[in-house]
Structure 1
């Protein structure tokens, strides 16, 4: 076992005990076992799913076996510096003490049919950092442990704190855009200009479609989307987005619709807005159920419906795009707060007045 310094026995961490029952608590510093890695957290982003979980979304707390296993340290948008390498970890992960790193949000089991076939992001066990106590604690803490099966990625020192902190959402955005199979002649509609959406705006622009239309109910976010590459921006609260998109496409509708709002209206709007034989990509985590006339997918339009989950094999791509300055982080990361002020940071993130809020131990 190798360590940079003698690690403290205790650390400060945000601990989730239940809906709206999160506290900054003193807990044990994790230690690296066989092929495990402990990092000193550099920063951890507050995701939209973190806010929905905090406020008790059924997706996380509902059912006989809730997704959240508490008490647990939340946070899955993290990066940090290696401070301890368990036996065999340096060789397996090709790491040294002091390396700047991150890992996939999922901690794959390595044994199920999905892991064994290389589709680790759909791991049947599906332990996710920031959701399962003891097994996969998250990054809203001073220190964090990566498992032996984690896919760990080095981050160049040339990347800033803000750039390093958006690697996880950018990786997810890359996978979503890849799922869309965007072509040069496509009219693409992206619904939602939050952190993921603004990453997608930049990625879609790199694909150079015929037209990129971004929808959001926040004018500030729409202006940011325009600055980052959107051709047309529409606020559905101020104009008929469906009518506008159809008027721009000779009445047919868009070729590709990417849903990144997390709101049920984002789904029903998209199904009406998209053309026959179009590609509908669903990314969001929802806080409420949505219903629709299912026949529009088959009998009426024969749509290609695709889901998008996590960022498999896209972290190196995200790091490369950031290193080449093809993706901008500064317009996305709005505020940085100390760990002790997590309640204030959560409220700011929920308000929607800013885009990405970070916690820094």
Structure 2
């Protein structure tokens, strides 16, 4: 039996992606909650760096001569979100511990639960890989309503958490996973390149690991100051200092123990390989706009590095929710812009500029 909180409208406003730089505000049908599904009224949706790269036409999303694109237009974008539960399909409330009126989030990937990776507990690497906002089977959150389908991983959000804080659960959960991949030890010197929303979450998570020194690298001095607010000890701007030389100086010529790349800039990969010590751990997190070329000899014969990728946020949503509850990040300063849904283009432009914004959200 379907449980409804309100009588739902037949149509809703939604941003729809038709192709690179072709996003429009459309009126589309309101989704319905079938058995095991959850319908939410979207309270806040974040604009992620990967949303921007999809908008700009990055090959990962639209394909090139070497690969097929991931995005399936027309599609409602948005994988960072929080919503108020307004309808529960049969069995959904019991399965997820949700009631009408609760705030809820859903992990960004809806696993198939049948592929090799899902069957062995590695659901975040699901072969089908349906992520909200990119695939036809999982429309995203830049709309007035969205549906969490069967198989989704849903989490209840504490009622005390403001929606514009809860929208940061998804990026923070990804940040936590990236830090976990770094295997940080107590006496490590850790460098994180990129002090955007995801990088800021990484500083907060890395500080919980108690490294000896936590260094932020970014081109924006204001973001470097925010990184310190989130746990960084030092901020380095590559336009003002030779970051490789400075990290080597700070470590007696050895280099940092752990390097996490979260900037999405090819030079950050090159610099990271230069400043990391032998036998160090390099974590690559970013979605790059274009392929990056490096000297692989550094990885193997020269330094014997541990190279770890970091993708999504397996089992880290509860950690992210707890960190936000505990006030470990200055979220009211990180969420710099809260715009109405109709101003989505202005939001995308703010993210693209990166000069005055950190996290930009849309509030339908």
TM-score, length of structure 2 as denominator length: 0.97
Instruction: Kindly state the Cα deviation for residue 228 of structure 1 after the two structures are TM-superposed.
Output: 2.3
Q: Give the Cα separation in 1 of the matches to 2:312 and 2:257.
A: 24
Among 110, 113, 126, the residue aligned to 1:110: 113
Give 2:221's aligned residue: 219
Q: Distance in 2 between matches of 1:330 and 1:299?
A: 46
4+ aligned runs moved over 3 Å, structure 1: none
Alignment RMSD, CA only? 1.0
Q: Tell me the distance in 2 between the aligned counterparts of 1:271 and 1:80.
A: 41
TM-score, normalised with respect to structure 1: 0.98
2:158 paired with 1:151: no
- Give secondary structure in 2 for the equivalent of 1:298: helix
**Superposed CA offset, 1:304-358 (max 9, x none):** 0001000110001111111122233122110000000111111111110210000
Any unmatched runs of 5+ in structure 1? none
Q: 1:78 aligns with which of 56, 81, 103?
A: 81
Rounded Cα–Cα distance in structure 2 between residues aligned with 1:347 and 1:251: 41
User: Structure 2: how far apart are the matches of 1:87 and 1:236?
Assistant: 55
Tell me which residue corresponds to 1:11.
12
Residues 186-225 of structure 1, C-alpha deviation per residue, up to 9 Å, x if partnerless? 0000000000011111111121110001000011101111
Counterpart of 1:240 in structure 2 is 242
CA distance in 2 between counterparts of 1:207 and 1:11 reads 44
| Structure 1 stretch displaced more, 324-333 or 294-303 | 324-333
Confirm whether residue 201 of structure 1 aligns to residue 184 of structure 2.
Answer: no
Equivalent-residue separation in structure 1 for 2:128 and 2:230 (angstroms): 38
Alpha-carbon contact 1:322-1:328 (below 8 Å) kept: no
**Distance apart, 1:34 and its partner CA:** 1.7
Aligned equivalents of 2:110, 2:163: Cα separation in 1: 24
Post-superposition CA distance 1:17-62 (Å, at most 9, x none): 0000000000000001121111000100000011111011111001
Conserved 8 A contact 2:193-2:261: yes
State the match for 1:277 in structure 2: 279
The answer as to 2:150 corresponding to 1:161 is no
Q: 2:31: which partner in 1?
A: 30
Name the structure 2 match of 1:61. Answer: 62
**Does structure 2 retain, via aligned residues, the 8 Å contact 1:263–1:288?**
no
Aligned positions, number: 360
Provide the rounded CA distance (Å) in 1 between the counterparts of 2:102 and 2:113: 24
In the aligned structure 1, how far is the partner of 2:94 from the partner of 2:241? 57
Query: 1:321-332 to 2 correspondence within 5 Å?
Result: 321-332=323-334
Q: Give unmatched runs, 5+ long, in structure 2.
A: none
